[in-house]
Amino acid sequence: MTDAETTPRTGKRVLLAKPRGYCAGVDRAVQTVEEALRLYGAPIYVRKQIVHNKHVVRTLEAKGAIFVEENEEVPEGATVIFSAHGVAPEVYEQAKARSLKAIDATCPLVTKVHQEARRFAAEDYDILLIGHEGHEEVIGTAGEAPAHIQLVDGPDGVDKVTVRDPNKVVWLSQTTLSVDETLETVGRLKQKLPLLQSPPSDDICYATSNRQHVVKEIAPDCDVVIVVGSRNSSNSVRLVEVALDAGANAGHLVDFAHEIDDAWLADARTVGVTSGASVPDELVQQVLAHLAERGFTDVEEITTANERLTFSLPQELKRDLKAAAAARG
């Protein structure tokens, strides 16, 4: 028998989730660093990881990006890019004090939450920010109005909430949370505070929701779901949790194909594959090749949404790119 005749009979298949991988905000942030390197030349400094993905960070480092934790590590007068997760207003002030050329690569959907926080704080609301303590996005949003914002870290955090006036309370959220867990947290908050207001539009970003939705679709049919993503990526970690909650027998998070343990596949007939919103598709293709070598050659892509949203580059960078083009012209 030829390989072609035996392959379909392995009975091993992959359900490949779509949408997966890069969202518009991540694409914009990575492109911002690449364009800045081309325009200004290396080194370009980036405060925090531009997006939460090991491979992306290493690739940009190889091109001349230097990742730092704080503005103090950036030489005076140099160019610094703020990551997709957003920063508190004091970070802009620090950059100004050091004469840094700051380019803000914050995802526009995170910027929307910042604007909501400022507006509700100006109206003297208590703001309940649902999110994970210590996450960069939460730190940035809370920094917009620290006197008005208190963090609610999941449903169990509700009991600790105290407000000045139960008639003037609103909830906002980190953009990369589990949709279901957030709804559970909001439900508990509303039991405690019946007049709690909701944000004008959903704070959990479209990409996070879409990636969770398709995982829910495939998980019940999967013996194991492999999520490609880094451990510090909130939306990637959530995808593993969503897969398990939706009925997958097992779920694992890997940065690279070589991290897949053959023991995970030993009794599996159906493997689900997806990736977090900061993961380039080449890493998913490597996982598919790795699985194919182990008999999982039948790949079916399950699509629940088509994403067409794109974001333009930061204004500061667009202005300089335009000036450079005019000078050449």
Segment 6-31, tens digit of pLDDT: 344 568 999 999 999 999 999 999 99
Just list the catalytic residues: 137
Q: Domains plus CATH for the chain?
A: 13-22+206-303 (3.40.1010.20), 24-106 (3.40.50.11270), 109-192 (3.40.1010.20)
252: annotated binding-site residue?
no
Q: Name the pLDDT band for 162 (thresholds 50, 70, 90).
A: very high
Count CB-CB contacts under 10 A for residue 305.
Answer: 14
- 3-state DSSP helix/strand/coil % of the chain, to nearest 5: 45, 20, 35
Q: What is the pTM of this model?
A: 0.94
* CB-based contact 98:310 (threshold 8 Å): no
> Measured between alpha carbons, how far is 294 from 121 in angstroms, rounded to an integer?
55
Whether the pLDDT of residue 247 is over 60: the answer is yes
Across all residues in the chain, what is the average pLDDT? 96
Going by C-alpha positions, the residue among 173, 282, 171, 211 that lies closest to residue 24 is 211
Which DSSP helix (H) or strand (E) runs through 226?
strand 224-228
222: annotated binding-site residue?
no
User: What does the pLDDT read at residue 11?
Assistant: 87
Residues 6+ apart with CB under 8 A from 15: 218, 221, 222, 270, 271, 272, 273, 300, 302
107: annotated binding-site residue?
yes
173: annotated binding-site residue?
no
306: annotated binding-site residue?
no
Helix, strand, or coil here: 210?
Answer: helix
Count CB-CB contacts under 10 A for residue 70.
Answer: 10
205: annotated binding-site residue?
yes
The region that residue 124 occupies, defined by phi over 0 for left and psi between -120 and 50 for alpha, beta otherwise, is left
Going by C-alpha positions, the residue among 235, 295, 255, 236 that lies closest to residue 271 is 295
Render pLDDT for 120-149 as a digit per residue (tens, 0 to 9): 999 999 999 999 999 999 999 999 999 999
233: annotated binding-site residue?
yes
